[in-house]
Structures are given as C-alpha cells and as structure tokens.
A and B are shown apart, each in its own frame.
Chain A
Amino acid sequence: MDIDGGVEESSRQVQVRFVTKLKPPYKTPPTSLAIPTNINRWRLSDIVNNILEAGVDDWQYQPFDIVIDGKFLRVSLEEFLLAKGISAERVIEIEYIKVVAPRREDISLHDDWVSAVDGSSDGYILTGCYDGLGRIWKDTGICTHILEGHTGPITSVCVIKPKVEGAFDQLVATASKDRALRLWKFDAGKSAQPKKIRAFRILKGHNAAVQSIAAQPSGEMVCSGSWDCAINLWQANGSDAGGDIVSAKKWKKGGGDEEPQSEGEAVSTLVGHTQCVSSVVWPQHETIYSASWDHSIRRWDVETGKDSLNMFCGKAFNCLDIGGESSTLIAAGGSDPIIRIWDPRKPGTYDPIFQLSGHNSWISSCKWHNKSWFHLVSASYDGKVMIWDLRTAFPLGVIDSHKNKVLCADWWKDDSVISGGVDSKLCISSGISVE
C-alpha cells in the first residue's frame, strides 16, 4: 500500500499494527505496516481511513483519534515514541477510536445570562437564567415550561430523581440569589406554548444568596450551599411530608387560581465553611461534597452532620463534581485556569492526581460523564467548553460556540454537551461519542 512516497525516504520507519475496539465496519485486518515516524495523528487517521475504504464499498470518511499505550497521540509519532521511550524496533500497536467532536451544535436563546443547566434527565434540559426564570427545554429551541417565581437570578438548578421510576410528575429544584430555593413539579408532556408554572414549594432559610443546589440520589432531599457559609438540607418531597414543618399558605398575588404554595424550612444545617459555599454535590445517599471560596473541599456525613474530609487547596473553588473511577474522584475548578482531580482514597496526601490545564480563565463548571471513567466536561470564563479525557493532558475537544464567559456546562443524553453562558445562549453540542 502506498502511503507517502516522498516522505518515506527522508525519515525512519516503524512497524505498526492498527487495532480497535469498534464494531466490524471499523475493523481493520490485523496486518502490520511500515509507516514513517514523522507523521501526526491526522495522517494516521487518513491511513486508517484508506485501509477501511479498501474493505468497505461505500465508505464515508471518519476521523479517528489515535491511542498508543493508553495515551492519546497529540504530537508527531516520532516525538511521542521518544517521549514515552517506546522502542521503534518492535511492532507498535496503534489503537484508533472515533474522534470526540461535536457534529452538530444547536443554540437556544434566553433573555438573560444562562447561569445553570442540568442535563441529568434524558427527556429535557433544565436551565436557570439571570432573569429569575427557570426553563425546561425539550430539545433545541423548544421550551416547554417556564419556572416563574424567583425574584433574583437563578444560580443553580438540579433535577430531583423520583423515588419511583416512571412517575408522572417531574421534580426539579432551583436556587436563586433571592436567598430561597424553589421546588417545581411539572409533567413532561408536550405543549405548543411554553407553559408558565409556579413553584409548589419555597424553601427559605439562607441568609444570603444561595449559590448551589444538589439533590440526593434517592430524590428525598436536596442540599444547598450559600453565601452565608452554610449548607442546608431540605426535604424535597413536599406532598407526602408531614405537616409539622410545612405551613401551607395561599399565594395571594396570583389571584388564587393556582395550586397552593408551601414554605419549607431547613431540616439541618452543615456548618464549617468560612466563606461562600460555591458548589455542593450529593453523589451517595449519606455523603455530601462541598467546595467553597475558603479554599477547601469538604465531605460531609449526612447523618452526623460532621465533615469527614477537609481538603485544603490554595484556590477558591467554583465548581465540584464527583465521578470518574468507581465514582470517587473529585474534580474541582475555581479561581484559576486549572482543573484539579483528587483521589480521596489515596492516603496521606492531598495532592491532586491530575491537573488539567487548557483554559485561560476561571473554571465555572466541571462535570464527569456519568458512564465513562475518563471523560469530563469543563466550562470556563474564557468562553470555551472543553472535553477532557484523563488519559491525555490535552483536551479532546473544544467547543468554541460561546462568545463570552461560559457559566455552566453539563452532559446530556450521554453524547451531548450542554452549556450556557453570558451570551444568553444554551448550546447543545451533540454527536460526541464517548468510547
């Protein structure tokens, strides 16, 4: 097979074999080839495409990413081999995977800055906006519900997973700068016009702006972090909760035609942070992780209300997520352009195991992919959303569709990245293949 006649003379050659874990149309014959070492990953991708084209009749060009020894190839092959100390004598196994790059980008416009987004439910996207409204999007540009009620900008939103699968009503929670949290209930049915709905429950108890909210995996409770340095725990399900903490109250302003709104108070408060709690995550039933501007990340035990882990790192944190390998790695970003990843199981040290640097400004959001151990999406004030793979120090993909600061980002439906920013856009970048 002719690869490149001109280059071959001037450079050394190595024996390679292409392997893949992809399904049959992408499989190549397990023969070894001699290729020059000075080529990069795009040329390698071309080579793989050429091989595949020979086997399949109507082949459509498919870019591949190249993995050698579990590391992504980002420099030329020769430099990579030298850097990793891989002998050029033996046959090198080159694995190719589909490139992680969005194929389609859709934009839905908001009225104001999009400050929060949650894509944990496959059926819809929940966004929070600086105009104080939450929105439910069915797909690009199709807004089904408008959550109306907050008097301040919404800072954080989360989808509360129902206790029973297949429940009719969907539960979501929003946190706002007006010091309150609101719980909303809606049915996921379609409607032509965006339907304005009111919160069925208002949770008041914070003394300052609420910065983040997270729901228990079981969906019973939500927790919220606030500028008053406290983390409050709230009962999420108001309908079946006892009336001891709920004081029913008619919503006077609405004219009385709406369903009643109840106010809830905090079940308990986790005190320990000294500054704004900027991010909370509730990954397991009994554990809450929180990141704060006081440069610490804490792990709280819900039962006792004590922090079982207090990790100090010299930066103010904006975002936090738990995931990755066996859902224990902590990824956090804050007031510098580096995403740090810790393994809390590692004894004795609080040094991050990974430091991903690629952004140019503060990290506003970072989320693990909920199926993959390696993939991570991050948003930054430099206007970029980056998709990371822990196996490489370089971002796999950069979504550059925002013009200004990106305030939030999340995964949706396993193959899309949704992000919102200061340019009032909600971007949905779909077609990202993870594995």
Chain B
Amino acid sequence: MKIPKNKKQQKKEEAGKINEMLGRIGQQLAQVADNSEDSSSDSDFEVVDNESLSEDEGSISESGMEQIEPSDNEDVVVSSDNDEDDDDDDDDDDIGSDGDGDGDGDGSEVDGGESDDSREVVEESDSSEDEVAPRNTVGSVPLEWYKDEEHIGYNLAGRKIKKKERQNKLDSFLASADDSKSWRKIYDEYNDEEVELTKEDTKLIRRLLEGKAPHADFDPYEPYVDFFAWDDSKHPLSNAPEPKRRFIPSKWESKKVLELVRAFRKGRIKFDDKPKEESNLYDVWADDSSLTERQGLTHIPAPKFKLPGHEESFNPSGEYILSQEEINAHQLLPEEDRPKLIPKQFMFYRSVPAYEKAVSESFGRCLDLYLCPRARKKRINIDPETLKPKLPSRKELRPYPKTCYLEYKGHKGPVTSVTTESTGQWIASGSNDGSVRVWEVETGRCLRVWDIGEPVQQVVWNPLPELPLLAIAAGQDVFILNTGLGSEEEQKKIEKLLCVETPTAPDDSDKNASFISWGPDDKHGGVRLKHFKTVTSIEWHRKGDYLSTLMPYDILSPNLNFIYLLIHTHLIRIGHCCEAFYYYLCFCSFLNSLKRESRSVLIHQLSKKLTQRIPYKLRGLPVSSAFHPIRSIFFISTKKDVRVYDLLKQKLIKKLEPGVREVSSIAIHPSGDNVIVGSKDGKLCWFDMDLSSQPYKVLKSHEKDINKVSFHRSYPLFCSCSDDCTAYVLHGKVYSDLNQNPLIVPLEILRGHASAEGRGVLDCKFHPRQPWLFTAGADSVIRLYCH
C-alpha cells in the first residue's frame, strides 16, 4: 500500500523537476529568440526537418555553451537532488554504462546514469535522479564565487575539480556542426561538463510537453482497487434504524421548487436580461463635450456656476475682507457692476447665516436653464443693400419732372381733369365748378373759359394737331367744342366738321337713335351728344375721328324696370300660363340682347356723326377705356379686370387680371405692349401684354386711392396720382429686345397739392414733348412740374 504512494510522490517530484527543467529550456528558447539567430543552426534546420523540438534543443545547447549564466533554478534542481548515498553507485554505473552507450564518449557519465535508470525502472526508480550524483560538492552556492578560481569545486574526496579548458567558440561551433548529436548536448555549469541527453530523456521531455505523465509506463487509468471492507461487520458502530427522511422525498424542497417554478412562470425571476444599474452619481464639473456631440453642433451648453473661491469661505483670509472705503466705493457703482458677494468672516461654521439670495438665485438659475434658448443661431450675414435690385441711379434717368414752377389758378372747384394739346402749347382742364378752361402752358394764362353748367368729368384734347377740338364729358352730355386755336383754314374745316343738323325726334325703332342724339350746342358752338346716363370717361382714338364714351350702366335701368313691371301686370291680368311663358321668354331674350351688346361703352364717329355699341358682353361696371396707340385694339377696364378687344375681328383677345380691389384707371404704353393699371387700394400694376395676364410688377406706393395713371408719349416715364396729395413719377423703360423685361425705377414723389374734401390729386398728364407733368388737384390748382 505504501509503495504506490511513494511511487506517486516520486513521480510528482520528477514531474516538478522536469517542469523546472522545461522552464529552463523555455527560458533558453526565449533567449535564443531574443538573440541574433546564428547561422550555425541553419544547417540543422536543413538536416532535421520533422523534429522541430530537437532542433530547438540543439540551438539551446549552443546558446547554453555560449552564455554561461548559471540560473538559480538549475542549482536548486541539482542541489535538491543531491544524494550522497548513491554517489558511489553512480560512479560505478558510469563506468559500466560505457559499454552499452551510444558510442559517444563525451557524455558517458550522464548516459550511464540514465541507462541505470532504465535498468532499474522495475523496482527502484525512485532514486533515478539522485543517482546522478554531482561530482561537485560545493553545495548550493553561487558559481560566481568560483569564477576567478581554477577549480569549480571539490569532489567527494575533497580534491579540487579543475575547470575544463574553454573551447574556442569557433572550434565548438565547428564541432557542433560536425557532430550530429550536438543538439542533445547540454552544458552543465555546476559540474562543468557537457551532458548528452539520451533518447529516453528526449522522449520524456516530449511526453511532458504533450502533457502526459513523464513515464511511459504510467497508466493514469488503471483500475481502482477498493481497499475498504464494505461488507457489514458483526458489530456496527450504531444500530439505529434508517431514518425516514433518508428515503422519502423532501416536502420542503418540493415546495421551494414549486415556488421557484411559479416565480419563473410569472416572470418574477429573470435570468439574463437584468438591466445594468447606472450609478446616479455623475461629475457635475466634468466637461460637457460628449453632451454637445449628442445635441448637435448648434447646442450651446448652459454656463456653469463659478466654483466657489477663497472669498466665499466662511472664514476667508484677511486680504479678502473689504475695508469700509471699498464697500462705500462699491455702493457708488451701478447695480450691475457691483460685486455680488462681499466676503465676511465668521469665527465658527455654525455662526454662518443662511444665504438670503439662495432661493432667488437658484430660481433664476432654473429659469435660465430651462427657458433660455441655447442654440447657436445660424445668422446669415448679408448686407441688405446687396439684396436690393440693382437699379440705375436717378441721375442717369434724367430728365424727369422734379420741381413745380408754374401753377394754373382760376378754377373755383376741384379740377377733375387736365389734358394737353398735342404740340404742348396749351392745356385744357375741367372742374367740378362746371367750367372748362384752356391755359397757355408757357405763362399760365387762361385763354378761354367755357361754363358748361354741370360738373365736368373729363376733358380730352383731340390728338390731331390740326383739329384743336375738346371733348368734354359733363353730366349726361358729351360736348365737342372748338377751341379756336387753329389757323383760319383749319377753323373752316372744323366748323364744317362740327356742323350738325338739329336732331330729329327720337325714333324708337332704331336702337342707336334711342339713346344717343347728336345735336348742335347752341351755347358754346359745338356738338352735343346726349347720353341717357352719366358719362364718366371719354377717350379719343389716335386718328382723332373716333371717340369712346363710358357710362357705368346697370342692366336693370329704370326703363327696363318699367318694361318688367308692364309685363308683370300684363301677366296678372291675362292669367294665362302659355302666354305668360311666351312673354317671359321675350323679356329674357331682350335682356340677353342687351347684355351681349354692352350699352355702357359707346364709340362715336365724328366725321359721320355715328354712334356704335361695342359688340361684346361686359361683366361689371366699366371704369376706364383706351385705344391701342398703334393697332385697332380697344381696352376696357371694369372694376375687376381689363379686357382687350380686337376691333377688326370683333373678339376678346385677352383678359388682364390685376388682382386689386378696384381698378380706377388704365394707361397704355406708346408702344402698345405694356399697360399700367391704377387701383383704388393704392396699387399700381404693370402688365406686359406679351408676358402674362398677371401683372409683371405691382407697386404698392400710394396710401390712398390712385386716381389716374399716365404714360409719357416719348420719354420713358409714367406716373400715378392719388388722393394722398402726391404724384409718383417712375421710370418705365421698355426694351425692343423681347428677352429683356421692362425696367421700372421709382424716381420722384411730387408733393404740393393740398387735400380738399378728402381728395388729393385728381388727374395727371405728361407734357407731350417735355418731361413735364401737369397735375390737377382737388385744391382747384393745376401744377406743372418741370425737370
């Protein structure tokens, strides 16, 4: 029983030693790896391919020879195994082993030892290591002690063991190169000799490296020998019967199990997905860089409180304490510059009073933290000047009317209309006082006055220079008067033109005659056209023969109402269904015919004394009309839109939608492709007829209603006048290049008129040849603005 134990112990010891040895070899290996590789080993590599381990060991031996570094492990290994008893045997063995050695005399002693081992494996393998008794008897002393000596120690007999002569490195290398077994040789410093490992040794090392038992014949799985006597003895130690709990399943355990099972099922116990607890503590003063990353680049972290300094200590040192002068000086500072805290000294911590601003300050801090928007605003740094459209300066756009030099005074009521003669020598004006005056432009002299008797709506001078005629709209009449300014021959022509026989009695069968009558005007010596409604606007055609008049005309005019009533009573009297229906149809068709031919716009021909209706239907009340300056196109503006008709083809060409509240006037550019529309909400719309039916530009300039807009005949100027007593002069250049949009530049605001009864400037007209503007004001003055 004891032997196997010993054997085990021995084997354990062996294993320990071998492990140590292997450690040593490992160290050497590492050293080799660290040191520069020796070319000597190259040959070995080539020779021994499959035995990488042995190859390594070969290099180990070499390195061992080169570096004589005695390691403690070695000493320990060796010294611990010293057994003096077996020394003799050892020697004997050595001698004896020479014969059956491998034939190399060099490491014969060790070999012998080993072979001894192998021979005595059966019984006394325990002293296998011990048998290799060291020659040297110095014990476990550092070998440096003998470094300078000629001996390395003493043998058993007490004689000095001499150091062997050092082989030359070259020689040793050559020898190792020649010797095929050199990789097995290890230099033993302690005994100063080379030891050659036997095949058994290498096998043992290999087995150890593989993690097996060092000895080949050790069986780790040998059958277990049960040495305990299990059969019942006659006299047991205790004769107590087997307790019940030994063979009954435990009730409490099953309860516990059940409880756990229920807990699992109900999910009270979870296995893996337990959340990792985050600590509630964080560093208040830590850098917030990670936070800013999370919130984006625009986020600005809230500023932190200033860390308390020495002055906020309850017992600050003397230099922080303010003197009375300093406190007084602080009191003189403005509130925001004053330091928040005046350091105070307290003897004890307990005498520090409560901080009186604690609540308000922390409240302010909280407000700051959650109400203050802390985000970096992306501010676009643009000079607003650059956003403005690049307009030419006003100096480049001269001449334009700027200053008022002349006033034409004489009217006694608001001047509603002003018109210029085509050469620009005279102007004519009509006023609410019922007079029409002709003025000399140059001096402001009133040449002639007509007293019409009714408030004059509009005065228009004939565009032909050889026909100095005035068309005057006043009340329900339109007068065409001779100004008498032409030469004698012209006067004769005009007299012939204006010669009209007295009107015949209105003929009901003819529609035209029913509402317009041409007749001579006895009082002023011209032609008088009687309309059935108030004429608000008149306009000459450019050839001076046609004249258009506008009457804002309701469908349900009084005479129509009368017809309607008549039919209605008729229906009641007859009381017959079919007939009633027939009459109703008649009435409707009559109404439709009225609608189709708008009666509110009339065109008169002066040479033939004829009146025509325009054959178009109008929706809404007409406000202003205009002839195209070149083509036979007619513009009518209602309160909402502007309709463009072709007079030759007799159809609607275009409908312009200004999108303003109420159109008050229109004007056509002399080239005919651009229209300006003034509205009663103070907006001026410029239409490019080729571009769109929407305005090209809308200028919101006037504060009150625009009364009139006007183009200059030759200069690129247009103007608008308004009830806010101003007239705006604007530059409006139209390019012949179709790709270039019109250039519109505001130039000047002309003031000077006074307001009267809420009206301001009622009319404006450019001088036909000069860049001058005539404005007619409600203050009964006409002003001339010159460049």
Which A residues are closer than 8 A to B by beta carbons?
Answer: 113, 115, 130, 153, 179, 207-209, 227, 275-276, 278, 293-294, 314-316, 318, 335-337, 361-362, 381, 405, 407, 422
Contact = CB atoms under 8 A, between A and B. Distances in A.
Nearest to A130: B445
Given A275-B769, A293-B769, A381-B406, A335 B787 contact: yes
Given A207-B487, A405-B443, A407-B443, A335 B770 contact: yes
Contacts of B487: 179, 207
A318 B399 contact: no
Given A130-B445, A335-B770, A405-B443, A208 B425 contact: yes
Contacts of B398: 314
Contacts of A115: 443
Given A278-B442, A405-B444, 16 more contacts: A153-B445, A207-B487, A208-B423, A227-B423, A227-B425, A275-B424, A275-B769, A276-B424, A293-B424, A293-B770, A316-B786, A335-B770, A335-B772, A336-B403, A361-B406, A362-B406
Interface string B425-448: 100000000000000001111000
Interface string B388-411: 000000000011000101100000
A335 B443 contact: no
A335 B425 contact: no
B406 A315 contact: no
How many chain B residues sit at the interface, stated as a range, is 10 to 19
A13 to B, nearest CB: 45
A381 B405 CA distance: 8
Nearest to A335: B786
B443 A113 contact: yes
A113 B445 contact: yes
A422 B398 CA distance: 31
Nearest to A228: B423
Contacts of A207: 487
Contacts of A209: 425
B444 A335 contact: no
A435 to B, nearest CB: 34
B461 to A, nearest CB: 15
B423 A335 contact: no
B770 A336 contact: no
A361 B405 contact: yes
A175 to B, nearest CB: 14
A253 to B, nearest CB: 15
A316 B399 CA distance: 11
21 contacts: A113-B443, A113-B445, A153-B445, A179-B487, A207-B487, A227-B425, A275-B424, A278-B442, A293-B769, A293-B770, A294-B769, A314-B399, A318-B442, A335-B405, A335-B786, A361-B406, A362-B405, A362-B786, A405-B443, A405-B444, A422-B445
B444 to A, nearest CB: 7
Contacts of A318: 442
B770 A316 contact: yes
A136 to B, nearest CB: 23
Name the 8 nearest CB pairs between A and B, nearest first. Answer: A335-B786, A361-B405, A362-B405, A227-B425, A314-B399, A275-B769, A316-B770, A179-B487
Contacts of B405: 335-337, 361-362, 381
A113 B769 CA distance: 26
Contacts of B787: 314-315, 335-336
Contacts of B445: 113, 130, 153, 422
A207 B405 CA distance: 28
Contacts of A314: 398-399, 787
Q: Please classify the interface of chain B as helix (H, G, I), strand (E, B), loop, or mixed, using the class held by over half of its residues.
A: loop
Contacts of B423: 208, 227, 276
A276 to B, nearest CB: 7
A316 B767 CA distance: 12
Contacts of A362: 405-406, 786
Given A275-B769, A293-B770, A381-B405, A336 B786 contact: yes
A422 B443 contact: yes
A381 B403 CA distance: 14
A278 B442 CA distance: 10
A337 B405 CA distance: 9
A276 B425 contact: yes
Nearest to B423: A227
A34 B232 CA distance: 162
A422 B424 CA distance: 21
A293 B406 CA distance: 16
A267 B424 CA distance: 28
A208 B787 CA distance: 25
Interface in B362-390: none
A349 to B, nearest CB: 19
Please indicate which of the listed interface residues B403, B405, B443, B772 has the most CB atoms of chain A within 10 Å of its own CB.
B443
A362 B770 CA distance: 15
A95 B772 CA distance: 46
Nearest to A112: B445
Nearest to A211: B442
A207 B424 CA distance: 15
Contacts of B770: 293, 316, 335
Contacts of B786: 316, 335-336, 362
Contacts of B399: 314
B291 to A, nearest CB: 70
Contacts of A337: 405
A362 B442 CA distance: 10
Nearest to A179: B487
Nearest to A316: B770
Interface in B461-490: 487
Contacts of A227: 423, 425
A314 B425 CA distance: 19
A7 to B, nearest CB: 42
A126 B651 CA distance: 64
A422 B405 CA distance: 15
A179 B487 CA distance: 8
A121 to B, nearest CB: 26
Contacts of A336: 403, 405, 786-787
Contacts of B443: 113, 115, 405, 407, 422
Contacts of A381: 405-406
Nearest to B399: A314
A423 B444 CA distance: 13
Nearest to A227: B425
Contacts of B769: 275, 293-294
A65 to B, nearest CB: 31
A408 to B, nearest CB: 11
A281 to B, nearest CB: 18
Interface string B499-536: 00000000000000000000000000000000000000
Please indicate which of the listed interface residues B398, B403, B424, B442 has the most CB atoms of chain A within 10 Å of its own CB.
B442
B769 to A, nearest CB: 6
A56 B154 CA distance: 162
Contacts of B403: 336
Contacts of B444: 405
A407 B443 CA distance: 8
B572 to A, nearest CB: 69
A405 B704 CA distance: 34
B470 to A, nearest CB: 18
A254 B487 CA distance: 23
Contacts of B406: 361-362, 381
B520 to A, nearest CB: 25
Nearest to A360: B405
A154 B398 CA distance: 34
Nearest to B772: A335
A344 to B, nearest CB: 23
Interface in B731-787: 769-770, 772, 786-787
A218 B769 CA distance: 36
B396 to A, nearest CB: 13
Nearest to A206: B487
Nearest to A382: B405
Contacts of A335: 405, 770, 772, 786-787
A241 B399 CA distance: 47
A59 B161 CA distance: 162
